[in-house]
Chain A
Amino acid sequence: MRFVWLTLAVYLAAVAETSLIDVLRIGEVTPDLLALVAVVWLLTSGSPRAFLGAGAVALVGDLIAPGHLGVGMGWMLLAGYGVGRLRARFRLEHLGWQVLITFATVAAWAAAVGATGRLIGDLSLAWSAVVPRALGVGLYTAAVALPVWMVVGWIRQPFLARKRRLAEF
């Protein structure tokens, strides 16, 4: 069932990114909705191999964007692996942590993808603009993520409570 929701979310995010992105644009910065879906998947999936799902989501992003395939996927696999390790050590269920992780992951991933794209010639962006734009994308995506995380929290609350009761038992 979770994969059905993931597929639906990826489809909606891809449609929004390809048809509504001009509406969402603030200056040169747009939110990366597929990256947001990937991060939500990373932090809500209980599997240690959740980064595979995040990588698949990033691959869809590569497919709808110009440039080489696999760049976003590769960096998202690495970022997702890091988030998975972090999640194994700390409880990241608080809204503040979730938004912070979203910002950090998306900003780092966007910076890495931008730098790689600049290296292999997919992007004509100046080097000095790569990191500021990545930070802008991360910030905007984190802002968009705030209501998303709130809704996810409301949906998951009964499941988490049940999980805690079982752990106490």
Chain B
Amino acid sequence: MQTPIGLAPKAVQSHHHRTDRWTSPAVVLAIGLVLALVLAVLPRQFSGWIRDGVAAVLKPGQVVSLRLGRQSERAVAWTRAHFQAASRLVEAERQVQELKRENQQLAGELVAASLQPVSPRQDADEDADASRLLRARCVSARVLGRQARAFLARHHLLDVGTAAGVQPEAWVVAAPAVIDRGRDAELQPGQLVLHGRRVWGKIVQLGAQTSAVRAVTEPGYRDLVAIGNPSGPQGMVEGTGEPLARIRLVEATEPVSIGDAVYTAGQGVLPAPLLYGHVVRLQRPVGGHWEIWMEPAVVGPPQHAAVLKIELNPLRTAQQKTARSQ
């Protein structure tokens, strides 16, 4: 420290000593406590002036703080409203998906109802159309339950499968589904079995009065299908034994999406396609083909079914015979 000009060293030391003594923390604390005591006993009139001054200084900050508080409340309300809107949007999207799915089901059922071939009037209309070479007819059938099949087997009436060397009792246990129409209704193996306008399966074995049906999801089932619409990309549906059937050989470049309806393809006889099911899962394998999984439109054996028969139009053949004879 520099020596003050004009002071002797002893005087400087004494000055420093006095300065240190008066600025030591304990002395400063004592002075501060005395000041606090003085403030405590200050008349309220004087303290009121000081408080008013402090309040005036704090006022701008308080105004800004309150405005910020209001702004933040608005921001929170805005954010909350947007979150609620977002949750409503998610719910609406879910409902839209559900409605779309219902629409698809209803569309399938509508198509089925519009082409119900068991209607006598429609049969009459089709029969009256002499220009068509082929016509589609449906043979109504009742699906036999386990007890009914057991009864028929006991009375040796269930002859389905016996031609292949299968014992009736064993066949009754193993066969997934049997209908009560067979050779008596001029059915043929490979004919489609429908429930309404939806495909349930195909006839695989014929008996005199009964037939065995292989459902879409059962192993060994194969058929050509169109995805999305009757003229959409075509593929091969295969039963896998799982609840979902697999559709193969659809190019990965084809537009396929989950929820697409799957129809029969290449029929050419029916005025409208038959519904197979809906696409529920999609995988894109390395081979460049979609791996598509379809939920069948008919799940489980129905009580009633109809076998689709395609045959020559007798009206047209009769007209041709008449023309030849003339």
A-side residues, CB < 8 A to B, are: 11-12, 14-16, 18-20, 23, 48-49, 51-52, 55, 59-60, 62-64, 68-71, 73-74, 77-78, 81, 84
Which B36-75 residues have a C-beta within 8 angstroms of A? 36-40, 42, 47, 50-51, 54-55, 57-58, 61-62, 64-66, 69
Q: Which 10 A-B pairs have the closest CB atoms?
A: A70-B39, A74-B36, A15-B61, A70-B36, A70-B40, A69-B39, A19-B65, A77-B32, A63-B54, A19-B62
Q: Chain B at the A interface: mostly helix, strand, loop or mixed?
A: helix
Judging by beta carbons under 8 Å apart, are B58 and A51 in contact?
A: no
B-side residues, CB < 8 A to A, are: 23, 25, 28-29, 32-33, 35-40, 42, 47, 50-51, 54-55, 57-58, 61-62, 64-66, 69
Partner of A77, one of B29, B38, B42, B54: B29
Residue picked from B25, B57, B65, most chain A C-beta under 10 Å: B25
CA distance A12 to B65 in the complex (A): 9
Judging by beta carbons under 8 Å apart, are A77 and B33 in contact?
A: yes
Judging by beta carbons under 8 Å apart, are B40 and A74 in contact?
A: yes
Tell me the smallest distance from the CB of B29 to a CB of chain A, in Å. Answer: 5
Judging by beta carbons under 8 Å apart, are A78 and B33 in contact?
A: yes
Name 19 interchain pairs, CB-CB below 8 A, sorted by A. Answer: A15-B58, A16-B65, A18-B58, A19-B61, A19-B62, A19-B65, A20-B69, A23-B69, A52-B28, A63-B51, A64-B54, A70-B35, A70-B38, A70-B42, A73-B32, A74-B33, A74-B37, A78-B33, A81-B29
Please judge, given known A-B contacts A51-B32, A52-B32, A59-B39, whether A69 and B50 are in contact too, CB under 8 Å: yes
Tell me the smallest distance from the CB of B37 to a CB of chain A, in Å. Answer: 7
A residues near B54, Cβ cutoff 8 Å: 14, 60, 63-64
CA distance A48 to B37 in the complex (A): 22
Q: Chain A at the B interface: mostly helix, strand, loop or mixed?
A: helix
Judging by beta carbons under 8 Å apart, are A73 and B36 in contact?
A: yes
CA distance A69 to B37 in the complex (A): 9
Partner of A55, one of B36, B38, B58: B36
Tell me the smallest distance from the CB of B64 to a CB of chain A, in Å. Answer: 8
Please judge, given known A-B contacts A11-B58, A19-B66, A19-B69, whether A71 and B25 are in contact too, CB under 8 Å: no
Partner of B58, one of A23, A59, A64, A74: A64
B residues near A18, Cβ cutoff 8 Å: 58, 62
Please judge, given known A-B contacts A23-B69, A63-B51, whether A15 and B62 are in contact too, CB under 8 Å: yes
Tell me the smallest distance from the CB of A82 to a CB of chain B, in Å. Answer: 10
Judging by beta carbons under 8 Å apart, are B28 and A11 in contact?
A: no
Judging by beta carbons under 8 Å apart, are B25 and A48 in contact?
A: yes
B residues near A20, Cβ cutoff 8 Å: 65, 69
Tell me the smallest distance from the CB of A10 to a CB of chain B, in Å. Answer: 10
A residues near B37, Cβ cutoff 8 Å: 70, 74
Judging by beta carbons under 8 Å apart, are B29 and A78 in contact?
A: yes
B residues near A23, Cβ cutoff 8 Å: 69
CA distance A78 to B33 in the complex (A): 8
